[in-house]
Amino acid sequence: MYFSEISRIEVLGYHLINLDEEEYFKELFKLVPIIVPSKPIFDKAIEIRKVYNLELGDSLIAATALVNDLVVYTRNTKHFGRVDKLKIIDPIR
């Protein structure tokens, strides 16, 4: 399991996160390796934004997964599901 640095920003920067949730995720992020976007990830994100019209954060998360051959666990299957060759799993289903 890995996290994109972008996911860390999105989770901890969420305006409705409460203190318990924030502490939980901070501890989780300490335990799991974080992938910082590299030039190949940014290049892939540019391609994804052009082709699929995803928001910047989603494009970077998808690009991180594609470049590193990882699966994206997300409830947002509507957006991520459009990206060809991106492996996604809805953890609730």
Closest by CA to 60, choosing from 10, 25, 16, 13, is 10
The one-letter code for the residue type at 7 is: S
Full residue range of the structural domain in which residue 56 is found: 3-89
pLDDT along the chain (93 residues), means of 10: 95 97 97 97 98 96 98 95 97 89
**Phi, psi (5° rounding) for residue 57?**
-60, -45
* Domains contained in the chain, number: 1
- CATH number of the domain within which 60 lies: 3.40.50.1010
Q: For residue 93, what pLDDT is reported? A: 84
What is the rounded distance in angstroms from the CA atom of residue 29 to the CA atom of residue 8?
7
Tell me the C-alpha distance between 46 and 66, whole Å: 13
- Say how far apart CA 14 and CA 46 lie, in whole Å: 24
